[in-house]
Structure 1
């Protein structure tokens, strides 16, 4: 296989082409998804807040159950510092890149003219959702946006983005902010940011995937767990509960009601969570200069990953790291604050109320 056309020739596009397309609009990005049922029905339900009548510019074809035979020779994709294990593998073609999820076997073709996913898609719906959202990120990156590892919430006038190390409490914090009347969800884990006056933020249509600790700490979310499971988890030591990885999908519309999502918003504030469970210090927020704090900037910056093809045609190199300069430029003018001391979501929620009331 030398090019995208060689891959497409070995696949059957007919099931996708025969399907009734659905369209998604996220800020300036529009997508058209071609996918047969029953997977189509699951995706339409998931992307409810982003569904649109506007025909999408970017066409995504999903081909459940298909595979390449024989498989190409895959190259492991180098993960970011601190991440272990093999997650992705790639094969670079003349005009495209094949990406494979090592554990599931789901495979993707990424190119300017063809965007495909194939393999055991019905058994890996979250992976398909991530691939669709990757196309939103790619479109933004090609237009000069920067990709941040952040959650965000807005009232339409002020928007607060929240970064931190993985497991630092972004999701729990942003959901506590959603308990404030009139606040709308922007993004849970990936946020595109573009400099300007004002700075602009663009989320992706990905509902929060939260751990039990987040659910137990918020009475609104308690119905997501059975009474027996809540009792079992409540008996765990705090540190063990915090570290427990047991993901649950929180559907924003079902929990918070309609009209509580806004993907595009003016960005005004950025918090970086640098607090600890074992700290004896009170929770505090202090202004921070990202140009002097590479540790905090490192928590914000996110690599585009193996799917990103630059405007000139080249794909993101294996092992590449983000360049701080465009992030510093995009975030200039925002009030950035470091959250330090002990982890206390009640204190942080009070700061959030004061911020949005100001």
Structure 2
């Protein structure tokens, strides 16, 4: 059986003979146009709302995606576990490789995805799991960027006066929390929450994000007045009574609609990157908060907070998928990051102090 035949047969299996709606959603993701068709009006409406700042009128798409709302499919394939980050527990993604394609099965939800150069299909209870469809859409843009030599980083980013600033951190470091604190300043805009892409060109480093709104834990919400509306007041007070570390360990995600909570036009695409801030601090630290410039060639331990695996959906221009045991290309990261100022934040966690330091010091040091 040829690779095209395998992918075609799997596509038909996931489509299940279900007709698609005539409606098609078009998204302008930077220079990449993505289209989405589905059999579900509620799903399309939810995705149109989520991606509202990117929706465009009908045009030619670079990437086409289909999302089939159905009951979970029972597929008889020998799926393998995709390894998770060291700080994450439990099974999440499994995959099955075929010639020219890959199936990814979400263990917790029953969603399944077909990834190939020409077929990109999500199938299963999409309406119950719109976030996984959103992630699938974003994974296509991520592959598109990486195929054009953008390097993926596990980082948030903001822009101030047309200059970008990246924020990375070890697990529980609070990069989203700090990023949202910075956005209280109306001159600071949102670029990315968790996936940042960097590329060197014309004697500068450029940074761009993907269309993924911040998903935050209760620990981020309860101490930020702008976010209080995301949870009931009584629940917020109960959470505030918890020990600080226990509060920050709660894994319960809430979406932050940037344009609703921070204002229209506060999401931007790309800007020249000026600095990387690496949060290497802890709530229980007995050391005072401090910020120091570092050389990553001498502090490779901090690279672990910045580097990010492209994940099981990544497919290069030749159609080859990432191996589950692929190692990070540290020299590629260092070659780009060496052109930036790198700050290490250590000691005791203090978001207000870091916010003040950012505006008073980091902005001025990188203003050229």
Shorter-chain TM-score tier: over 0.9
Question: Residue in 2 aligned with 1:313?
Answer: 319
Alignment partner of 1:41 is 2:40: no
Report how far residue 16 of structure 1 moved. 6.4
- 2:161–2:187 contact (8 Å) kept in structure 1: no
Equivalent positions of 1:1-358 (< 5 A) are 3-12=6-15, 17-35=20-38, 36-53=40-57, 54-65=59-70, 68-196=73-201, 197-354=203-360, 355-356=362-363, 358=367
- 2:192–2:212 contact (8 Å) kept in structure 1: yes
Report how far residue 80 of structure 1 moved. 3.2
Report how far residue 15 of structure 1 moved. 5.1
State the SS of the aligned residue for 2:359: helix
CA-to-partner distance for each residue in 1:265-305, whole Å, 9 max, x for gaps?
21111100000111122211111111221211111000111
Instruction: Give the Cα separation in 1 of the matches to 2:221 and 2:150.
Output: 32
- 2:15–2:123 contact (8 Å) kept in structure 1: no
Report how far residue 13 of structure 1 moved. 7.2
Query: What is the TM-score of this pair, normalised by structure 1?
Result: 0.95
Query: What is the TM-score of this pair, normalised by structure 2?
Result: 0.93
Instruction: Give the Cα separation in 2 of the matches to 1:309 and 1:209.
Output: 26
The alpha-carbon distance between structure 1 residues 245 and 84, as it changes in their structure 2 partners (threshold 3 A), is closer
State the SS of the aligned residue for 1:173: helix
State the SS of the aligned residue for 2:113: strand
- 1:291–1:328 contact (8 Å) kept in structure 2: yes
- 1:26–1:264 contact (8 Å) kept in structure 2: no
CA-to-partner distance for each residue in 1:1-29, whole Å, 9 max, x for gaps?
86211101223377564331111112222
The alpha-carbon distance between structure 1 residues 225 and 159, as it changes in their structure 2 partners (threshold 3 A), is same
The count of corresponding residues between Structure 1 and Structure 2 is 358
Report how far residue 64 of structure 1 moved. 1.0
Q: CA RMSD in A?
A: 1.7
The alpha-carbon distance between structure 1 residues 69 and 221, as it changes in their structure 2 partners (threshold 3 A), is closer
- 1:77–1:319 contact (8 Å) kept in structure 2: no
Unmatched 5+ stretches in structure 1 = none
Unmatched 5+ stretches in structure 2 = none
